[in-house]
Structure 1
């Protein structure tokens, strides 16, 4: 009986020891979790340092300093607590930014990748008279006013028709676009910009001007004076390939007009 009692007593001691050990380890775990939480969410160990922020993809129109000014409002915020969705919204409000992605770069930085609104066309700025007429509900200025308005400079547009700048003269390499002054729904302009965006680099660099009387009558003027009747923005990739082939063909050496509106039946003319 004595041996049995001793065994029960020993088992009780072991249970108490295990219970205390579990309690100790649980307490250690809680303390560790609290410490890690404080380290990650409250301490400066993982805090954002604005000098460790990298901005890429700003292109030619976005001022990186403006992006960093948005980020500066979050300087010192622990990265795990940083609201990257809200920060991205702020970056999208920076002039010239078309799209943005924000990624944490541990332990203190961010990588902000931008898609900038690069200009693809220069459009003669309307004269003050034309702008006033538009403000008063008019339907645009007459052609003479449009010509006079060219002295006001050029609006630089991106592929979506958003103004990203202004210049006294068309920048080198940027085609001048002319559309009817009564293009109220912007269909002609949208078609021209879509065509310009679709051009491969080797063709885009040859375009000096573009225009359209309607969305189905886009035309291009090349640097050597050749005119391209493009038609609508549909099948632009095929039209570009056909045009490049025609331009390289010896039989088209004297052509001044290239009609690729129907790309499977292109036409070349002397003038």
Structure 2
């Protein structure tokens, strides 16, 4: 029996006939026009909803995180545009305004609370040191920022006593002026363990590397310079636990601490 002819073999190898490709349908001009009109109306409706309607406007301003400041002070300083479209509120401008007007504010986060609110989340500065000036007290935070002057010293915040060593005062102040020495004292106060900070009454500064602490109960701590603050803090905590009846501690060289009862 004869096999398939050459023409038949080529037909078999080529497989079933492929369907003809259909050309993409081009939308009619009328359909394009209607689609564009729908998009324009949708956009205009969105703009009106956010900017022109009365539904999404600022009606209330709330605050959180205040300790010393009052919510009323924060809201007044923020001056949020009540009645304005909520989407148009410049939150960055509100944050800058609050930090400039209220130096007690360390950071603030302004958030939109849809559909009608503005939230002011405040973090206040915490004093780590006090500077007495004219019978009042300047509060200084751990960053060295002087942020408030108060009439009464807050409890648990040590007072700075800046008294350069008279024998070496001239040489010390040439290298480290009083402003630099104050910064070093702030670094020391900021590095103190929480329990020690609460008991610290005075931070005494005689020179860059001669900083000491006066604690409650007549106890003292020779701290030295502000360098290696974390190590000194850990060493002091361990030293106080090991010698609970000691009255004088020395962590100026944290690798060789010392304590004494007198």
Q: TM-score range by the shorter chain?
A: 0.7 to 0.9
Where structure 2 has 5 or more consecutive residues not aligned to the other structure, the ranges are 1-24, 165-172
Alpha-carbon distance, 1:73 to partner = 4.4
Alpha-carbon distance, 1:31 to partner = 0.7
Aligned pairs for 1:33-112 (under 5 A) are 33-49=43-59, 51=60, 53-60=61-68, 62-95=69-102, 96-112=104-120
Aligned pairs for 1:236-247 (under 5 A) are 236-247=229-240
Quote the Cα distance in structure 1 between the aligned partners of 2:193 and 2:54.
Answer: 49
1:113 pairs with one of 115, 121, 145: 121
Query: Which structure: greater helix fraction?
Result: 1
Quote the Cα distance in structure 2 between the aligned partners of 1:122 and 1:36.
Answer: 54
2:208 pairs with one of 208, 215, 225: 215
Paired residues of 1:190 and 1:215 also in contact (CA < 8 A): no
Confirm whether residue 172 of structure 1 aligns to residue 155 of structure 2. yes
Computing the radius of gyration over CA atoms, which structure comes out larger, 1 or 2?
A: 2
Alpha-carbon distance, 1:107 to partner = 1.6
Distance 1:122 1:185, change over 3 A: closer
Partner of 1:5: none
Paired residues of 2:129 and 2:160 also in contact (CA < 8 A): yes
Paired residues of 1:219 and 1:229 also in contact (CA < 8 A): yes
User: Which TM-score applies when normalising by structure 2?
Assistant: 0.77
Confirm whether residue 162 of structure 1 aligns to residue 169 of structure 2. no
Paired residues of 1:157 and 1:165 also in contact (CA < 8 A): no
Distance 1:174 1:27, change over 3 A: same
Quote the Cα distance in structure 2 between the aligned partners of 1:246 and 1:73.
Answer: 52
Alpha-carbon distance, 1:253 to partner = 4.0
Paired residues of 2:140 and 2:146 also in contact (CA < 8 A): yes
Number of aligned residue pairs: 226
Comparing 112-121 with 88-97, which one deviates more in the overlay?
112-121
User: Which TM-score applies when normalising by structure 1?
Assistant: 0.74
Partner of 1:136: none
Quote the Cα distance in structure 2 between the aligned partners of 1:185 and 1:42.
Answer: 58
Quote the Cα distance in structure 1 between the aligned partners of 2:192 and 2:64.
Answer: 25
Distance 1:113 1:40, change over 3 A: same
Deviations 1:201-242 (A, max 9, x none): 222222122121123222111112210011122221111111
Alpha-carbon distance, 1:78 to partner = 1.4
Paired residues of 1:118 and 1:164 also in contact (CA < 8 A): no
Alpha-carbon distance, 1:97 to partner = 1.6
Quote the Cα distance in structure 2 between the aligned partners of 1:83 and 1:22.
Answer: 38
Where structure 1 has 5 or more consecutive residues not aligned to the other structure, the ranges are 1-13, 127-151
Query: Which structure: greater strand fraction?
Result: 2
Quote the Cα distance in structure 1 between the aligned partners of 2:57 and 2:95.
Answer: 18
